[in-house]
Amino acid sequence: MNTSKLRENVFYKEETVSTNNDAMDAEQAAEGSIFLAERQTGGKGSKGRVWQSETGDGIWMSILLFPKLSPEDIPKITLTAGLAVCKAIRKKGFAAEIKWPNDVVISGKKVCGILAEKREKKVAVGIGINVNTEKFDGELKQRATSLYMESGKIFEREELLNSVADEFEELYKILCEKGFSHLRDTYKAMCATVGKKIKVILPIDAYEAEATDITAEGELVILHDGKEERLCSGEVSVRGIYGYV
């Protein structure tokens, strides 16, 4: 980022449809602006899913970027955001890990999801962190968790948000100036998917494989029927065959 720093411009709303929409629709906002809301009435998850965020117990934020990266490098921004959140949550004492490409998990359950959306030159990096959520119902019960559910403690959301912003700013600078190859080792060390048996889910197919590595481009290396393959984020979903991760 060569304009304003993260957190110099913060736009807060009690309620909004989606902070990603707010970031995209802001006409004059500088790069690095952060859009926050206490509650989202139309929180967007990946693959067209709904992101549960009607309650004021999480961090629902979007960072506005004008990246000068080539189109194929844009997905690396979400990997970088996942890494930033994972580092910030680890600093709070949790054994957080990344489920490739960009979910942050604790004890195999999702605590943070990231959705980056691109419109013309703008990218909104939407980050949702379940902070003080007391419980999840239905199918989310098996897959989702919060910092409160993992520790019994209520967390100061502003402090965690600042920490996420600081981590992201540092890592995004490395991504833009040096490339993902300079983040790869740290990412791999925090990635729970590597070494696991996984299910690769494609739009009309699914198969089992073993995740073996992360490339300098952020792809997941897998062994499938004895052959090595590389998966690009955005194109596939992976699940652990023994659980979510």
Binding site for ligand BTN (CB under 6 A): 18-20, 40, 43-46, 49, 51, 53, 60-62, 103, 113-115, 126-128
Sequence-distant contacts of 44-51: CB under 8 A, at least 24 apart: 44/18, 44/20, 44/115, 44/117, 44/126, 45/113, 45/115, 45/128, 46/113, 46/115, 47/237, 51/113, 51/115, 51/128
| Structural contact between residues 134 and 112, judged by C-beta atoms closer than 8 angstroms | no
All residues at 6 or more sequence positions from 151 whose CB lies less than 8 Å from its CB, including other chains: 93, 94
Picking from 245, 216, 230, the residue whose alpha carbon sits closest to that of residue 76 is 216
Minimum Å distance from CB 173 to ligand BTN? 22
Minimum Å distance from CB 114 to ligand BTN? 6
Minimum Å distance from CB 82 to ligand BTN? 10
Minimum Å distance from CB 4 to ligand BTN? 20
As to burial, measured by CB atoms within 10 angstroms (0-12 exposed, 13-18 middle, 19+ buried), residue 17 is middle
Cβ-based nearer residue to ligand BTN, 103 or 219: 103
Cβ-based nearer residue to ligand BTN, 53 or 145: 53
Cβ-based nearer residue to ligand BTN, 9 or 19: 19
Cβ-based nearer residue to ligand BTN, 147 or 228: 147
Q: What value, to the nearest 5°, has the Cα angle with vertex 123 and ends 216 and 23?
A: 145
Cβ-based nearer residue to ligand BTN, 51 or 187: 51
Cβ-based nearer residue to ligand BTN, 179 or 240: 240
Residue of this chain nearest to ligand BTN (CB atom): 113
Please state, in angstroms and rounded to a whole number, the distance separating the CA atoms of residues 58 and 111: 10
Picking from 112, 116, 99, the residue whose alpha carbon sits closest to that of residue 155 is 112
Minimum Å distance from CB 36 to ligand BTN? 9
Distances in whole angstroms, Cα of residue 57 to Cα of each of 132, 134, 143: 5, 9, 18
Report CA Rg, the chain. 17
Beta bridge partners, 193, equal: none
Cβ-based nearer residue to ligand BTN, 37 or 214: 37
Minimum Å distance from CB 23 to ligand BTN? 8
Minimum Å distance from CB 72 to ligand BTN? 21
